[in-house]
Structure 1
Amino acid sequence: MRVAQIGSGTPEIAVVAGVHGDEPCGVRAVERLLDERPTVERPVKLIVANERALERQVRFVDEDLNRAFPGDPDAATHEAQLAHRLVDELEGCFTFSMHSTQSHADPFAIVNSVSETANELVPQLPVSAMVETSNFAEGRLFSEIDTIEVECGLQGSETAAQNADRLTRAFLTAVGVLPGDTVHRDLPVYRLTDVIRKAQADTYEVFVDNFTEVEAGDPFAAADGNEQVAEEAFYPVLMSSNGYRDVFGYAAEKVSVLTPSTAAD
């Protein structure tokens, strides 16, 4: 784990990249900040988390770090030990954590709950949606640390790296680390309601687009040609044919739309 700081004093804001070793977009954003060393109005901690997985260009070494929190210093796995160290390092910091995905090109935010802070900050970020994990947060960083996660774009793409840089700077501006103003956007809010599992198969297909409503009775995915049909309407989130080993993604409900006037209040 690499830890650095810009600005003097005790940071109350942190940026985390490289939770997964096959998602380098956030690492590039952190490295650019460290290269430029911009003038800051309050200190910020910058962390590149899973250096061992990044070096190997794999998602994780032993287990998914973003399912290993709070971790254990005496654990048998690299990631569980690292999770414990990361929680200690982030204590007292409001945290921004960057990821990328195989399922959706447009950036979106993921939060543990739709809090007043999330309602205020996330509409200031260049994201297309905010997703509340609801009952699906176990083992994730924001189950232990007050965190906004962002999916920056498609894994390994140059666009995701560019998005990570824009998102990081927007976040740091919104929380008063960087000077300047942000733009409030209309922002749809979704809540995860179910996991969409997939059977073991040789080939997988997804027929729907993330954040576009699937009507009851519509086929939305297939495993070896066997279609799965929606029993009730839902919004797919993180749906991908090969993103996860045993699930296609998640079903969600649309909760609300935050407007600039609502965010300003």
Structure 2
Amino acid sequence: MRVAQIGSGTPELAILAGIHGDEPCGVRAVERLLEQRPAVERPVKLVVANERALEQQVRYVDEDLNRAFPGNSDAETHEGQLAAKLTDELEDCLTFSMHSTQSHNEPFAIVKDVTDTARELCPQLPVAAMVETGNFSEGRLFTEIDTIEVECGLQGSETAAENAYSLTRAFLTATGALPGDTVSRDLPVYRLVDCIWKDQADTYEVFVDNFTRVEQGDSFAAADGEMQVADEPFYPVLMSANGYRDVFGYTAEKLDVLSSPTAAD
């Protein structure tokens, strides 16, 4: 784990990258901030988490770090120990954690709950949606630390790296660490409802777009050509043919549309 800081004082904000070693976009955003050293009005902690997985260019070494929290310093796995160190390091910091995905090219935010902080900040970020994980939060960082996660774009893409930097700047502006105003936008909010499981197969297909309503009776995916049909309407989230080993993604319900203030406080 690598930890740095911009600005003087005790940080109450943290930028986190490299939870997964095959998602380098956030690391590049952190490196750009360290090169530029912008004059901040609040100190900011910068953390690159799973350096061992990043070096190997794998999602994790022993187990998924974002399913390992709160961790344990005596854990038998690398990520179990690292989760405990990260929990201590990020204590008392509002944390902005960057990821990338194989399912959707537009950035979107993920939160444990739609808190007042999420309602205030997420509409000020350049994201297409906010997703509440609901019952699918176990082991994630935001079960221990006040966190806003963002999916920055397609894994390994240059666009995701650029998005990560823009999202980080927007977060720092919205929280008052950087001067300036944020862009106002309306933001749809979804809550995960259920997993869409995969049968064992050689080929997988997805026929729907994330955050676009699927109607009852629509075919939305296939495993070796065998169609899966919607029993009831839903919104697909994190849907992809090969992003996850056991699931296509998640069904979600639409909760609300949030409106942003005209400028950051």
The two structures have a TM-score, normalised by structure 1, of 0.98
What residue is the counterpart of 2:20 in the other structure? 20
Contact 1:132 1:189 in 2 (8 A): yes
Q: Give deviations 1:3-25, integer Å, cap 9, x for gaps.
A: 00001111000000000000000
Offset from partner CA, 1:85-118 (integer Å, 9 cap, x none): 0000000000000000000000000000001110
1-structure distance, mates of 2:264, 2:87: 31
Counterpart residue number, 2:190: 190
Correspondence for 2:43: 43
1:213-252 superposed matches below 5 A: 213-252=213-252
Residue 260 (structure 1) shift: 3.1
Name 1:69's counterpart in structure 2: 69
Change (3 A) 1:231 1:21: same
Which one-letter code corresponds to 1:219 in the other structure?
Answer: S
Identity of aligned residues (%): 79
Mapped to 1, the partners of 2:11 and 2:34 lie a distance apart of: 15
User: Could you tell me whether the CA contact under 8 Å between 2:122 and 2:130 is conserved in 1?
Assistant: yes
Take 1:25 and 1:192, find their aligned partners in 2: how far apart are those partners? 25
For residues 13-59 of structure 1, the C-alpha deviation after alignment (integer angstroms, 9 at most, x for no partner) is 00000000000000000000000101010100000000000000000
Secondary structure of 1:31's counterpart equals: helix
User: CA deviation digits over 1:126-151, x for unaligned, max 9?
Assistant: 00000000110000000110000000
Gaps of 5+ in 1: none
Q: Tell me, in whole angstroms, the C-alpha distance in 2 between the residues paired with 1:116 and 1:122.
A: 10
Q: Secondary structure at the match of 2:170?
A: helix
Are residues 1:203 and 2:233 paired?
no
Structure 2 distance, partners of 1:216, 1:84, is 44
Q: What is the Cα deviation at residue 184 of structure 1?
A: 1.8
CA distance in 1, matches of 2:164, 2:19: 14
1:105 aligns with 2:102: no
Pairs aligned (count): 265
Match of 1:149 in 2: 149
Aligned partners of 1:173 and 1:182 also within 8 Å? yes
CA drift of 1:263 comes to: 9.6
Residue 185 of structure 1 aligns to which amino acid in structure 2?
R
SS of structure 2 residue aligned to 1:22: coil
Counterpart Cα distance in 2 of 1:34 and 1:260: 29
Change (3 A) 1:228 1:109: same
1:262 Cα deviation after fit: 10
CA contact (8 A) 1:123 1:263 kept: no
The residue that corresponds to 1:78 in the other structure is 78
**Hey, what does 2:255 align to over in structure 1?**
255
> Are the equivalent residues in 2 in contact too, given 1:120–1:263 (CA < 8 A)?
no
SS at match of 1:29: helix
CA-CA distance at 1:200 after TM superposition: 1.1
2:171 counterpart letter in structure 1? F
- Seen in structure 2, the aligned counterparts of structure 1 residues 167 and 262 have a Cα distance that, compared at 3 Å, is closer
* Residue identity opposite 2:166 in structure 1: R
Q: Please, what is the CA RMSD of the aligned residues?
A: 1.4
Task: Say whether the 8 Å CA contact 1:119–1:263 is kept in structure 2.
Answer: no
Cα 1:215–1:263 change in 2 (3 A) is farther
Q: What TM-score, normalized to structure 2?
A: 0.98
The runs of at least 4 consecutive aligned structure 1 residues that moved more than 6 Å come to 262-265
Encode CA deviations 1:186-209: one digit per residue, 9 max, x unaligned.
100001011111011111110100
